[in-house]
């Protein structure tokens, strides 16, 4: 198949939205191909599958419309998710498709070519693959990415291979690591930002506040908002330092919507991770909104060169 005539449908399946785009053979988004719709992750099985169906049919239609051939469907998805069996094991979202063979379901969607490759990949792993191949981790063997959003995700690489656990998820989870009087996610996720802002700004209004609002106010110079990001940066540095040293991490990246405000956390991270001798770069990913899409396709086309399953330690 002529690679110049091939295009790929990439999907980032989040708990709120299914975001998709069509990528060319250079892993770049084709202009005008981006699409988004609610994922309805809390709704019934049929409604969730209808959301996937709409995104996939729209994507295949776009590929055909521009005169390309579908080269595959790559889907970045949160976990727990059994990659080989294409079955969601999530109970906090997408709970009504728990254990369902999603690949088999997609095969029955109209317009999906019979033999087109379909591959799921954990979203944090997808982000790191993209950054290793064409982003801010390019040139580094050992890298890690922290995804900051509603929750806390983490993926790492060794010799440019993203490490996976036995079901294809990230080799190492950090969200549930004990920290202070709870777990790490309690102090770094979306709710932590909002709670910390309210603690530091007892007299100010906070109803309806979002993390995006705190980021905007930090950009505008609000000292309390900037302090919130610094405090979370301090927590992350404290929690990650041992891992960074033990794994000889050279490049530490941050992804997820909260990472749009990464620059406000960076001073605390740089200070807190001083002494990690192998660490050369601390920055946000090159494409916060597109890394998972590109990584899902690269990982699908080059699985042997991007992913390695390792036994739990």
Q: If you average pLDDT over every residue of the chain, what do you get?
A: 93
Whether the CB-CB separation of 57 and 18 falls below 8 Å is answered with no
Measure the CA–CA gap between 126 and 298, rounded to whole angstroms. Answer: 8
Phi, psi of 56 (to 5 degrees): -70, -45
Which one, of 242, 235, 282, lies nearest residue 259 by Cα? Answer: 282
Confidence bin at 202 (pLDDT 50/70/90)? confident
In terms of domains, do 165 and 93 share one? no
Is the pLDDT assigned to residue 260 strictly greater than 70?
A: yes
Per cent of the chain over pLDDT 70 is 97
In terms of domains, do 159 and 261 share one? yes
Per cent of the chain over pLDDT 90 is 85
Q: What's the confidence (pLDDT) of residue 204?
A: 64
Least confident of 31-40, 204-213, 238-247: 204-213
Q: What is the residue range of 73's domain?
A: 3-116
Least confident of 1-10, 96-105, 267-276: 1-10
When pLDDT is averaged across residues 123-129 and rounded to a whole number, the result is 96
In terms of domains, do 136 and 109 share one? no
Pairing of strands 118-122, 182-183: unpaired
In a domain? residue 309: no
Q: What's the confidence (pLDDT) of residue 128?
A: 97
Question: Among residues 80, 95, 116, which one ends one of the domains?
Answer: 116
Instruction: For residue range 132-186, list pLDDT tens digits in order.
Output: 999 999 999 999 999 998 789 999 999 999 999 999 999 999 999 999 999 999 9
**152 CB-side CA count, 13 A:** 22
Burial 109-148 (b: 16+ CB within 10 A, else e): beebeeebebbbbbbbbbbbbbbbbbbbbeebbbbbbbbb
Measure the CA–CA gap between 210 and 149, rounded to whole angstroms. Answer: 12
In terms of domains, do 90 and 130 share one? no
| Residue 100 CB burial class (10 angstroms; 0-12, 13-18, ≥19) | middle
Is the pLDDT assigned to residue 302 strictly greater than 90?
A: yes
Whole-angstrom CA distances from 253 to 75, 155, 217, 248, 282 are: 21, 10, 23, 14, 6
In a domain? residue 299: no
Confidence bin at 287 (pLDDT 50/70/90)? confident
In terms of domains, do 167 and 76 share one? no
Residue 28 is classified by DSSP as P
Q: Report whether the peptide linkage leading into residue 150 is cis, meaning its omega lies within 30 degrees of zero.
A: no
Cα 200 → chain centroid: 29
Measure the CA–CA gap between 4 and 283, rounded to whole angstroms. Answer: 33
Cα 167 → chain centroid: 17
Measure the CA–CA gap between 260 and 265, rounded to whole angstroms. Answer: 11
Measure the CA–CA gap between 252 and 276, rounded to whole angstroms. Answer: 11
Total number of domains in the chain:
2
In terms of domains, do 199 and 77 share one? no
Q: What's the confidence (pLDDT) of residue 59?
A: 97
Pairing of strands 17-23, 35-38: antiparallel
In terms of domains, do 148 and 271 share one? yes
State the Cα angle at 306 between 304 and 308, rounded to 5°: 70
Measure the CA–CA gap between 252 and 284, rounded to whole angstroms. Answer: 8
Report the length, in residues, of the chain: 313
Q: Where is 38: in which H helix or E strand?
A: strand 35-38
Q: Where are the beta strands (DSSP E) in 123-250?
A: 143-148, 152-158, 161-164, 178-179, 182-183
CATH code assigned at 33:
3.30.420.40
Phi, psi of 205 (to 5 degrees): -70, 140
Confidence bin at 15 (pLDDT 50/70/90)? confident
When pLDDT is averaged across residues 210-219 and rounded to a whole number, the result is 93
In a domain? residue 73: yes
Q: Work out the number of other CB atoms within 10 angstroms of the CB of residue 288.
A: 18
Is the pLDDT assigned to residue 120 strictly greater than 80?
A: yes
Q: What's the confidence (pLDDT) of residue 189?
A: 87
- The reported pTM is 0.93
Q: What's the confidence (pLDDT) of residue 150?
A: 79
Confidence bin at 86 (pLDDT 50/70/90)? very high
Confidence bin at 8 (pLDDT 50/70/90)? very high
In terms of domains, do 89 and 230 share one? no
In a domain? residue 276: yes
């Amino acid at each position: 198949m002529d690679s110049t005539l091939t295009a790929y449908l990439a999907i980032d399946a989040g708990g709120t939205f299914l975001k998709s785009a069509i990528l060319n053979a250079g892993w770049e988004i084709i202009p005008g191909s981006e699409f988004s719709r609610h994922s309805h992750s809390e709704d019934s099985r049929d409604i969730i599958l209808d959301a996937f169906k709409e995104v996939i049919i729209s994507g295949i239609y776009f590929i055909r419309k521009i005169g390309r051939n579908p080269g595959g469907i790559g889907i970045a998805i949160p976990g727990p998710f059994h990659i080989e069996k294409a079955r969601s094991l999530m109970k906090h979202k997408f709970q009504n498709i728990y254990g369902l063979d999603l690949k088999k379901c997609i095969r029955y969607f109209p317009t999906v070519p019979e033999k087109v490759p379909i591959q799921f990949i954990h979203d944090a792993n997808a982000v790191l693959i993209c950054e290793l191949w064409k982003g801010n981790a390019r040139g580094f063997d050992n890298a890690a990415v922290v995804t900051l959003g509603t929750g806390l995700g983490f993926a790492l690489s060794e010799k440019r291979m993203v490490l996976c656990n036995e079901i294809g998820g990230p080799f190492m989870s950090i969200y549930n690591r004990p920290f202070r009087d709870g777990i790490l996610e309690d102090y770094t996720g979306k709710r932590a930002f909002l709670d910390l802002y309210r603690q530091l700004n007892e007299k100010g209004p906070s109803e309806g506040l979002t993390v995006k609002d705190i980021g905007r106010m930090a950009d505008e110079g609000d000292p309390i908002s900037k302090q919130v990001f610094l405090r979370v940066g301090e927590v992350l540095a404290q929690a990650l330092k041992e891992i960074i040293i033990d794994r000889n991490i050279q490049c530490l990246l941050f992804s997820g919507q909260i990472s749009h405000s990464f620059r406000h956390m960076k001073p605390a991270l740089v200070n807190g991770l001083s002494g990690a001798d192998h660490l050369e770069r601390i920055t946000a990913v090159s494409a916060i909104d597109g890394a998972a899409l590109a990584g899902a396709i690269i990982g699908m086309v080059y699985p042997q060169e991007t992913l390695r399953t390792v036994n739990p330690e």
